[in-house]
Every structure is written in structure tokens, then in C-alpha cells.
Amino acid sequence: MREVSEFGKYRKRTLAVMMVFAMAITSGTPKTTVYAEEQSVTSAGISVQPEEDPVTPESVQPEETAVPTVEPTTTTQNTLVVKKKKCSYPKKIYEGQTFTLKGTLKANHKIQKVQASIKDEQGKDAVAIKKKANSNKFDLKKIDDDMKFSKLEAGNYTYEIKVSDSYGNEKVALQKDFKVKETTWAWPVDGGSKGDGFHCGCSVHGGRHLGVDIKGVSKGTSIKAIADGTVVYAKYHQAARRSSFGKLVIVYHGNGIYSYYAHCNAIRCKVGDKVEKGDVISTMGETGAAYGTHLHLELRKGPAFSGNYNSYDFLDKYTYKQFDPMKYLTKR
Ligand SMILES: [Zn+2]
Ligand SMILES: [Zn+2]
């Protein structure tokens, strides 16, 4: 216990210096009992010394390096203090969006366990994580991958991070409300209505038509991007007559989300084009496995765009999984 005895010396020396200091400032009427009392209760008294004191240069060392060298007193055991350093967290995100929780929690005790949860409006856990720690610092990066913000449906949530120490103290270190907003994208054509997929031969798997067909719009009508993005595919889909998308445009919207526009009559964009919501990318047609003029629109979630334009991989339904476009498109 060399460190403790050294600290003891340090305390004695500090006390002596403080008494001298106290005598100096009170001009001959030292109230030493006040300072002595502070010293016996908590080591925190050390930090009240003026930093410019030339006699004890050690006094300027940060508190965090001095505290762990001494047996914790009853006072410090009972209080777990957690400070937040450079923390950033979401206040509002959109469905499907990922978010990185950043920052460090710093405690006066060794953190033993960190419990993070995202609670829905009913107070039920949408996400719950437990992590062990063995340090008085905890980097939020360690729980970030497990937070799964992108899985949350639209609604109001609270996330909470609870920290426990080895004395059984528990403290809510972070508690924030945030909102997941519904993503509403533009309808891709002026007019038209949702079809039933009967006249669409493509993307039918096990009798189920994936995506949404838009009918009732004449051939040559403009098709517009439903949201901002980058054109990553713009060419005829070579496949069997009964399963071809025909002339196909795929737009990448970020966060692994892609929109597919099939059976176009003419393509009015090229790969690499940056498009905004409402920009014309193609026209209505019946190329590929289409029976009558219609737009077959799909939304898919897959890996982030790799830079490989016109890749046949975009047609792989297991890597790029369809989800219901009507959840995101303005209802008509
Ligand atoms: Zn189709
Ligand atoms: Zn279709």
C-alpha cells in the first residue's frame, strides 16, 4: 500500500500548507479547525487550494488521478456522480435512419454495468442492452451498434442510460426524449391510382406481387423520383420475358434504401445523376413483363450503395429486400 501512505504524506503536507495559507490570509487568527474538519471528511478539500501556490505544485494535478489511490470513504461510496463529456444524441430522426450516439460517461467510481434502453410511449422497452464495464470511463460507442435506431417505427421514444458501480449505486446518466418521424415521399406520377398487380409479370414470387403498380396514366407520362437520391441503375433489365422489369431505373436514397421504377417507355436519366424529389427520370410504358401501361414501383432495403452502377445484384431480392412502398408514399 505504498500509494496510500504516499497519499497520507501528501495529505499531511497539504494540511500543513493549508494551515499556513489560512494563517496568512486571516492575519494571525487562524481558524484551523474548519480546514482540519474538511480534510477528515473528504479528500475533496484538496482541490480548494489556489493553483498559483508555489510551495505545492502537486496540488494542480487533476482530481481524477488522486481519487482512486485512496480507500473510498463512506461519503463517496454513497454518491455515484456521472459526468457527460462531448455527448451527442438524436432529438428527431426519420424511419430507417441510423444514428450514432457519441460521447463518454465519466464517473467518480468504477462503472460496473451500463444498461441502455429505448422506451416507447407506453414505457415498454423497444431496445434493451446491458454491458459490463470496469473503468470509471464509458465510451457510448460500445453500445451504439446495439441501439438499432433504424429499426424504430414512427413515434415518440425515450432513451435511457443507467450506470451502476460496485457499491450497488445506480444512476440514470442520460435520459432524453426523441421522435421518429414517418418518411413521406412523393407519388411518382401526376394522377393514376394503385393497381392490383394483375397486369404485372415481374417481381412475382410465390404468387405474391411485391411493390405497387400505378395504372390509369397514359404511355409517355413523366415518372418522377419519389425522394432525393442518386441514379444507380438506368437500363433495360435483361431477363426472361415473363420476369423482366423492362426499362428500369433505380435511385439510391441513402441509409440502404432504394426505389425501383420498372416497365418504363423511355429512360430520361443516367447512372450517377443526382436527382431531387420530383425530378423526371423516365416515362410510363409497358416494357418487360407488363400487360398494359403501368409503373411498377418497389422500395427495397439493402447494403449502402457500393459505387457499382448498373449492377445485376440490385435484382437479388434476398440482398435487396422489398418493403411496402405505401407505408412511405403519400396516400391517394
Ligand atoms: Zn411489373
Ligand atoms: Zn408490379
Total of domains in the chain: 3
**Of residues 46 and 197, which shows the higher confidence score?**
197
In a domain, 186, yes or no: no
Which of 50, 71, 92 is the C-terminal boundary of a domain?
Answer: 71
Q: What is the pLDDT of residue 326?
A: 74
| 220 Cα–ligand 2 center, Å | 18
All residues at 6 or more sequence positions from 175 whose CB lies less than 8 Å from its CB, including other chains: 158, 159, 160, 161
Ligand lying nearest the CA atom of residue 211 = 2
Band of residue 268 on the pLDDT scale cut at 50, 70, 90 = very high
| 276 Cα–ligand 1 center, Å | 24
**Do 205 and 162 share a structural domain?**
no
**Do 154 and 136 share a structural domain?**
yes
**Do 94 and 174 share a structural domain?**
yes
Q: CB of 160 within 8 A of CB of 168?
A: no
In a domain, 187, yes or no: no
**Do 165 and 110 share a structural domain?**
yes
Range of the domain at 301: 193-327
**Cα distances (angstroms) measured from residue 267 to each of 49, 152, 187, 235:** 75, 35, 18, 7
Residue 295's SS3 state is: strand
| 210 Cα–ligand 2 center, Å | 7
**Mean pLDDT score of the chain:** 77
| 132 Cα–ligand 2 center, Å | 49
Ligand lying nearest the CA atom of residue 262 = 1
**Do 320 and 251 share a structural domain?**
yes
**Do 147 and 37 share a structural domain?**
no
Tens of pLDDT, residues 206-262: 456 778 888 888 999 999 999 999 999 999 999 877 788 999 999 999 889 999 999
**Do 204 and 147 share a structural domain?**
no
In a domain, 67, yes or no: yes
| 80 Cα–ligand 2 center, Å | 59
Which of 71, 96, 120 is the C-terminal boundary of a domain?
Answer: 71
In a domain, 150, yes or no: yes
Which of 157, 181, 205 is the C-terminal boundary of a domain?
Answer: 181
Tens of pLDDT, residues 2-29: 444 444 444 444 444 444 443 434 444 4
**Do 261 and 165 share a structural domain?**
no
Ligand lying nearest the CA atom of residue 241 = 1
All residues at 6 or more sequence positions from 300 whose CB lies less than 8 Å from its CB, including other chains: 257, 258, 259, 260, 314, 320, 321, 322, 323
In a domain, 332, yes or no: no
Ligand lying nearest the CA atom of residue 195 = 2
**Do 37 and 138 share a structural domain?**
no
**Do 49 and 118 share a structural domain?**
no
**Do 323 and 204 share a structural domain?**
yes
C-alpha to C-alpha distance for 170 and 163, rounded to whole angstroms: 6
**Do 278 and 167 share a structural domain?**
no
C-alpha to C-alpha distance for 80 and 181, rounded to whole angstroms: 36
Q: What is the pLDDT of residue 307?
A: 95
Q: How far is CA 325 from the centre of its chain?
A: 24
Strands 295-301 and 212-215: antiparallel
At 127, which CATH number? 2.60.40.2550
Q: What is the pLDDT of residue 149?
A: 83
In a domain, 188, yes or no: no
